[in-house]
Amino acid sequence: MTALLSILLAVLLFSSPAVAGAQAVRDGPVEARLVAEQGSIQPGRPFTAALVLTMDPDWHTYWKFPGESGLPTTLRWDLPPGFSAGPIEWPAPERFISQGLVTYGYSGTVLLLSEITPPPTFPRGAAFTLRAQAGWLACRVECTPGKASLQVSLPAGPAVPFPDPAWARAFADARARLPVPPAGASLSATGDAGSVTLAVSGVPLAAGVGALFYPSSEGLVNVSAPQQLSRDGASLRLRMQREQGTGRLDRLSGLLVTTGLGSSRAIEVDVPVSAAGGRAWGLLAALLLAFAGGLILNLMPCVLPVLSLKALAFLKAGAGSSVRHGLQFTLGVLVSFWIIAAVLVALRGGGRLLGWGFQFQDPAVVLVTTVLFFLIGLNLFGVFEVGTLFTRIGGGIRTRGGTGAFFTGVFATAVATPCTAPFMGAAVGYALSHSAAASFGVFSALALGMAAPSLVLYAFPGLASHLPKPGPWMETFRQVMAFPMMAAAVWMASVLAALSGAAGVVVLLAAVLAAGLGAWIWGRWGTLSRRTAVRAVAGSLALLLVVGSTAAAAGFIPRQPAPLAVTALQAPSALQAPSAAQAAGWEPWSARRVDDLRRAGTPVFVDFTARWCLTCLVNEKVVLGNPAVRSRFQEAGVATLRADWTDTNDEIARALGSFGRASVPLYVFYPRGGKDPVILPEILTPGIVLGAIAAD
């Protein structure tokens, strides 16, 4: 009885200072305090202290990796001499989804534990004050930062310190929420271009219990993408999509959190990632796909204007074509693709989610390209001549020199980028999710594939002997070839309308008018028959009108969101008026909308497209607009969603990356029953789409 009274007295004596010192500080929706697990301390004997955060209802703070938004809680200690503090021991967090963003954090009350080690000696009867500066970000829908200066006082106590009864249960609960090592479980991970799979054995999951992976840092997995779980007794596989452009993944770290049946458990994950199927074979396959895609790119509608220029170049050169011309053309294509690869790698390394054809998401680039197409058309019509200067830019029409062939390759690449050929999507997706060396290798293979047919024609000049002999008819043919250029300018104007609206088209028309006036002035007074002074004035005025007006228009071009670009933060109902696509039965895409439809058991067809992608427009007009296809969509109850990437949209870029792609078009069909999505080819036919629906 005497011993029991002594214990109770010690508890009262040594716990009261700690409780008294743990004063709560409120900042906004969060109340913070600093507490110790025991009422006294001993020299050299570690003990646990905790930052206690109590959030108002509906508010939460964040884990060490907050996810797609938020900031982790910080704790900066100010300890007496000789004391040291360990890092925060983070309990397993909750997963929040707010406005389409996935975050990790805590609601209610959370204890963030830290181990404190006192010095090996200190005087008996001494008392110590532990101080700390805490900072946090609290969010509901809105967010507010908070901070507090906290302290707790602890005396030197008996040989066996007593737990603080006021906090004993809270500390026990906090420890129960800490992640546990994978004791008795075997973990491994494999990865490829767009995903990583975590394999776990020795963790049986009861029916109704699920599992999710929470990454410990940014760049490991796409936290907002669905995770595919498959189970076989005590073994499970969790396939997760990766963020586009995050590079090679060597190690996977985080938490495997099992949920369901009223409880959860977190297992620590820190395993190396091995290549799925071998990296060498993956790169070889990407190179082969890229070369094949480059070959087919020559047949895509985007390249029609360049084919016009090529035809004229071959007719003009005739038997004079040489391997040197072919090599110059190939070098022009290669250099252009290398520039595109360098820009993409640099921008994606800086966090920008861009892909093939990214430059046409900039209204200024579209405007300049439209003016260039218009001027080339005027030149082909014979409005003006600029000798080798213009042909070096526009395709080598008037010169046989290697420089003209080089710039023909540059121009061919520039106008080909709005198109995606079969096999290109997977190759470009691989390139932008791997190292810079792999990216340049894949883009080089694309360039060689695109240049190969022209290189063959140049290498075998005997083929030119089968072409018609030059003559007066070539002037008519040249003017006929101007019409594809003008058609390309009209198409680019429609892209600008999607990016900048009617105001942007007005600015474009003004630039085209000024550029046309400059071209006419040069054609009228810039000929060799004019005096040198007249030609100098005409050239200066023409240059001012063409370059000055285009540069000014590009600087003042307005920008507005593409009409169908809907992010995960914007529900379809937020659009003010239905677009033509909606009227035709197409909903604006959002990841949340896809998830909602799939949970309801509705099959979904998603069209990832862009107004500057001519391949996309042809597929939409000929196949997706086909009455038989539209009727079958309706009969089968398929929801049709359109993700318009005309303008920059990171949410769409992330969705493309989740399928290992960085270009459009991409067509994805989600069958009923939560089955894996089916990726359709870049070039559609009604049979392909109808077959995918029939297989559901």
Tell me the per-residue pLDDT of 135-160, one tens digit each, with 9 for 90 and over: 999 999 889 999 999 999 988 876 66
Q: Is residue 79 within a helix (H) or strand (E), and if so which, with residue range?
A: none
Report the amino acid identity of residue 419.
Answer: C
Residue 561's φ and ψ, nearest 5 degrees, are -60, 145
- Which residues are 53's β-sheet partners? 32, 110
Question: Per residue in 42-76, is it b (16+ CB within 10 Å) or e — as a string?
Answer: beeeebbbbbbbebeeebbbbbebbbbebebbebe
Tokens of 574: 């937020």
Task: For residue 362, give the 3-state DSSP assignment.
Answer: coil
What is the arithmetic mean of pLDDT over 524-533? 86
Q: pLDDT tens for residues 587-618?
A: 999 888 888 898 888 999 999 998 888 788 88
Of residues 448, 447, 452, 433, the one with CA closest to residue 282: 433
pLDDT at 433: 61
Tokens of 401: 């020199």
What is the arithmetic mean of pLDDT over 328-332? 87
Question: Which residues lie closer than 8 Å to 179 by C-beta, 6 or more apart?
Answer: 90, 92, 255, 266, 267, 268
Tokens of 455: 């290189």
- C-alpha distance from residue 32 to each of 26, 50, 174, 177 (Å): 6, 10, 16, 19
Poorest-pLDDT segment among 96-105, 189-198, 613-622, 642-651: 189-198
What is the arithmetic mean of pLDDT over 198-211? 72
Tokens of 485: 């250029």
What is the arithmetic mean of pLDDT over 404-409? 76
Model confidence at 32, pLDDT cuts 50, 70, 90, reads: very high
Tokens of 62: 């964040």
Of residues 159, 175, 162, the one with CA closest to residue 113: 175
- Per residue, the 3-state secondary structure of 122-141, as one string, reads CCCCCEEEEEEEEEEEEECC
Q: What is the pTM of this model?
A: 0.52
- C-alpha distance from residue 586 to each of 313, 482, 608 (Å): 44, 36, 12
Q: DSSP secondary-structure letter at 302?
A: G
The Cα angle at residue 421 between residues 415 and 425, in degrees rounded to 5: 110
pLDDT at 218: 86
Q: Are 442 and 303 in contact (CB under 8 A)?
A: no
Q: Are 370 and 508 in contact (CB under 8 A)?
A: yes
Q: pLDDT tens for residues 262-296?
A: 566 788 998 888 765 444 556 788 888 889 888 88
- C-alpha distance from residue 77 to each of 20, 41, 115, 135, 150 (Å): 19, 17, 12, 12, 10
pLDDT at 583: 44
Domains of the chain, each with CATH number or no CATH: 13-176 (2.60.40.1250), 186-275 (2.60.40), 279-556 (no CATH), 572-694 (3.40.30.10)
Tokens of 254: 């985080």
- Per residue, the 3-state secondary structure of 524-573, as one string, reads HHCCCCCCHHHHHHHHHHHHHHHHHHHHHHHHHCCCCCCCCCCCCCCCHH
Q: pLDDT tens for residues 123-139?
A: 877 889 999 999 999 99
Most confident of 182-191, 229-238, 632-641: 632-641
pLDDT at 633: 94
Relative to beta strand 587-588, strand 251-260 is unpaired
Taking all residues of the chain, what is their mean pLDDT, rounded to a whole number? 79
pLDDT at 312: 59
Residue 385's φ and ψ, nearest 5 degrees, are -130, 140
Q: Is the pLDDT of residue 244 over 80?
A: no
Greater confidence, 334 or 677? 334
Of residues 419, 114, 472, the one with CA closest to residue 294: 419
Task: For residue 409, give the 3-state DSSP assignment.
Answer: helix
Poorest-pLDDT segment among 61-70, 89-98, 609-618: 609-618
- Which residues are 61's β-sheet partners? 106
pLDDT at 546: 92
Q: Which residue has the tokens 């003559």?
A: 471
Q: Are 418 and 361 in contact (CB under 8 A)?
A: no
pLDDT at 564: 39
